[in-house]
Amino acid sequence: MNSTEFKGNWDELKGKLKQKFADLTDDDLLFAEGKQDEMLGKLEQKLGKSKDEIKKIIADL
């Protein structure tokens, strides 16, 4: 998934991530243009998963 697709589908993905990982908050999922790596790093820390694992989770949603 490239960053354009990621940004375009972000609202839908946020809802799916919050359903799958109930402890995620809106603040955890805050996404601004150019902040994808920072946001993935936060999810990596919060979920205890690698960036590749998180990207796979997002791609599979």
The C-alpha atoms of residue 5 and residue 19 are separated, in whole angstroms, by: 21
Residue 51: give the domain boundaries.
Answer: 3-60
pTM, entire model: 0.56
Q: What is the pLDDT of residues 4-48, one digit of tens each?
A: 676 667 778 888 888 999 888 888 887 655 577 788 888 899 999
Q: Return the structure tokens found at 49.
A: 């998963």
Q: For the chain, how many structural domains are there in total?
A: 1
Q: 4-30 in b/e burial notation, b at 16+ Cβ within 10 A?
A: eebeeebeebbeebeeeeeebeeebbe
